[in-house]
A and B are shown apart, each in its own frame.
Chain A
C-alpha cells in the first residue's frame, strides 16, 4: 500500500455556519440509513406473509403496538422525505435550481412536503381501517 500523502485539509465542520441545505443534506443521508435498516421490516413482513398465519400474526402484533406504529410512522416519514429530497437532487442533476432562493425553496419544499405526505398517508390508512 502506498504511503499517504499529506494534503491540505478543508476546515472542519464546526467553522461553518449551519445552513438549511447543509442540515438537510445530512438528513438525506440519515433517512437513507434509516430506510436501509427498515428494509428488514419489509423483508420480515413479506416472509411472514409467505410463511403462514402464525408468523404474520407476529408482524401484525408488532406493527399494531405503540412502538411498532412509531417505527412505521418514522419509516413512512423517512421514505417520503428521502424521496422528495431525492427529487430535489434530480433537479440539481439536471442543472436547475442553483440560485440561493431556489436552493432554499427546493429544500423547504422537501422538508414540508415530506411531513405533509406522511400525515396524508397515515390519515388515509386510518380512514380505510388500518387503525384497527
Chain B
C-alpha cells in the first residue's frame, strides 16, 4: 500500500497511526539513536560541568607533580573519564551532522565522516590513557 492510497480511503482504514506505521522502519531500525545519544551526552556533560570546573580550578598554578597527584585520585579520575567519554560521543555526533549538512560530494562526505570518527576516538583514547596512567601512578 503506497502512502497516497492510504489517504481518504475508508476501505483501507487501519487502527494504526501514521507514526506507528513508520516506527522502526528507519535505517537499521535505529534512525533516532544519534538524536537520543546527543541528548544523553549533553545532559551528562551539563551535570558534570560544575565538578569539572572545580577540578580545573584545583589544578591552576600547580606544577606537574601537584597536578598528577590530584588527577590520579579516584573520584577525580572517574569524573574526568565520564566527561571525556560524553564529550567524544557528543562531538562525534555533532560534527557528523555538520558534515552531512554542508558536504554534498558523496565521497568527500564519507571520508570526512570517517576522519571525524578517527579524531573523536583518538582524542577520547589518548585522554583516557593519560588519566589511567596518572591513576596507576606509573
Contacts and interface: CB of A to CB of B under 8 A. Distances in A.
Given A57-B64, A83-B46, A39 B123 contact: yes
Contacts of A33: 95, 98
Contacts, number: 83
Interface of A: 1, 29, 32-33, 35-36, 39-40, 42-43, 46-50, 52-53, 55-57, 83, 86-87, 89-90, 93, 121, 124-125, 128-130, 132
Nearest to A84: B46
A32 B49 contact: no
A43 B126 contact: yes
How many chain B residues sit at the interface, stated as a range, is: 20 to 34
Q: Does more than half of chain A's interface fall in helix, strand or loop, or is it mixed?
A: helix
A88 to B, nearest CB: 11
Contacts of B117: none
B55 to A, nearest CB: 11
Given A39-B123, A49-B64, 20 more contacts: A1-B106, A32-B95, A35-B91, A36-B91, A40-B123, A42-B123, A43-B123, A46-B131, A46-B134, A47-B130, A48-B64, A50-B130, A52-B64, A53-B65, A56-B64, A89-B42, A90-B42, A90-B43, A128-B61, A129-B61
